[in-house]
Amino acid sequence: MESIKLKARIRKEASKKNVHKLRAAGEIPGVLYGHRKDPVHLALPEHDFWVILHNATSEHLIIELEVDGVDMEENTTLVRDVQHHPVSGDILHVDFQRISMSENIKVGIPVLLTGVARGVKEFGGILDQGVREVMVNTTASTVPERLEIDVSDLMIGETIHVSDLAALYPAIDFLDDDNINLAHVSPPKKLEVAGGLEEGAEAEAAEGAEEGAAGAEGEGAAEDGEEA
């Protein structure tokens, strides 16, 4: 994953009133922490950060921070968290974690499914994607932008798991359970409905047969009673 440069400035006041002023000025609040150093409150240019996110496959980015008026000895950071407004989607706050490119970090990486599943192309199945991001433990210098896996051979009823993805990237330590689903091909809805109707018809027929047999037994018992 390539590092991206972003300019920021020190935010001296961390009150809610100051946050409103920041947003009015086209900035968003953030914080820089890690490596046993005091946290630093930041103000980021909203437009620049939005552009970075728009062109990225994940929000967990490696960013080289350039803070105005500060000599940053350690300016390599990981975007650890981006808080969004639940309705508007606006960015409310950004957390940056200090890292070095040689240290191991735990980070979420997006999963990209490639190809067209055979069960979809030839039999009209439906491809369902499971988790879209997996947690990994790897050095900052080797963090991939995304993890790709080909679904072309996937048939109806078949599933790709985290273990299948891990086999493609042996150098990366995957932290999620091996059995978590990444992709699954379901049968077409028409087949599901038809199958359900057939099962219902069979069940009704079986019930009817049982009722008929029970009625016949009752009639036989009544005739025996009359003859006696």
The full set of domains in the chain, from first to last, is: 4-99 (2.40.240.10), 105-187 (2.170.120.20)
The secondary structure of the chain as a DSSP string is ---EEEEEEE----SHHHHHHHHHTTEEEEEEEETTEEEEEEEEEHHHHHHHHHT-S-S--EEEEEETT---S--EEEEEEEEE-TTT--EEEEEEEE--TTSEEEEEEEEEEES--HHHHTT--EEEE--SEEEEEEEGGG--S-EEEE-TTPPTT-EEEHHHHHHH-TTSEE-S-TT-EEEEEEPPHHHHHHHHHHHHHHHHHHHHHHHHHHHHHHHHHHHHHHH-
pTM above 0.85, yes or no: no
- Note the pLDDT tens digit of each residue in 119-172: 999 999 999 999 999 999 999 888 888 999 999 999 999 999 999 999 999 989
- Note the pLDDT tens digit of each residue in 190-219: 655 555 555 555 556 556 555 555 555 555
